[in-house]
Amino acid sequence: MEKTFTKVVRSLNVHLPARRESLSTLLKEERPKVIGRNGSTHRFKNAELEQIAEIVPEKHHDRLKLPIYIELTPEFGRGAAKIHGRLHCDVVQSVLRMEREKTDELVIYRPEVRKLRRSLPTTTQYAFFYTPG
């Protein structure tokens, strides 16, 4: 049974890419995409990449890895999600029109997650995490 649970939890994240690509690399590609751990292709919309490129200064395009993970963890309560990384938080704050502050971690709630997903459906992805113990 334990094996089955571990398998179920692990299977929640098989769609995540084995390696995230930088914005600068993706902008150069004609068909920007990443390959998931299960071998599936996740294509980015060019319009979304351009939208992000306008938000993030060009000198940081190498450092911004895509897709942005919307981390869902039960420890924050139902529907709450976490965004990690300075540049990712910058993009999310800009898209959600939140007050811009320099932070490495941002907690957003369901209506904001929905708004973010509607604005950036291909450059964001859900990730499921849980802390053992």
Partner 1 sequence: MAVVVEGVHPTRMELLKLSRRTKLAEKGHELLREKRDALITEFLDVVEDVRGARKNVEAKLESAFRELTIAQAILGVNEVRQISWITPQEIFVDLDTRNIMGVKVPLIETGDITRSIMQRGYGFVDTSSALDRAAKNFEEALVSIVKLAETEETAKKLAAEIEKTKRKVNALEYIIVPRLVATTKYITMRLEEMERESFCRLKKIKAVLQRREIE
Q: Which residues bind partner 1 (CB under 8 A)?
A: 1-2, 5-6, 8-9, 11-12, 14-15, 31, 33, 36, 38, 40-43, 45-46, 72, 74, 78-79, 110, 113-114, 117-118, 121-122, 125-126, 128, 130
State in angstroms the smallest separation of the CB of 53 from partner 1: 18
- Alpha helix (H) ranges present in 1-133? 2-11, 23-28, 46-55, 86-95, 110-119
For partner 1, the closer of residues 53 and 86 by Cβ is: 53
State in angstroms the smallest separation of the CB of 100 from partner 1: 26
What span, in angstroms and rounded, lies between the C-alpha atoms of 31 and 44?
8
For partner 1, the closer of residues 90 and 116 by Cβ is: 116
For partner 1, the closer of residues 47 and 59 by Cβ is: 47
For partner 1, the closer of residues 9 and 63 by Cβ is: 9
State in angstroms the smallest separation of the CB of 84 from partner 1: 17
State in angstroms the smallest separation of the CB of 32 from partner 1: 10
Retrieve residue 31's tokens.
């068909």
What span, in angstroms and rounded, lies between the C-alpha atoms of 76 and 92?
18
State in angstroms the smallest separation of the CB of 48 from partner 1: 11
CA distances 28 to 31, 53, 95, 120, 122, Å, are 9, 12, 23, 19, 17
Q: Which of 110, 97, 102, 61 is nearest to 85 (CA)?
A: 102
Retrieve residue 104's tokens.
């490495």
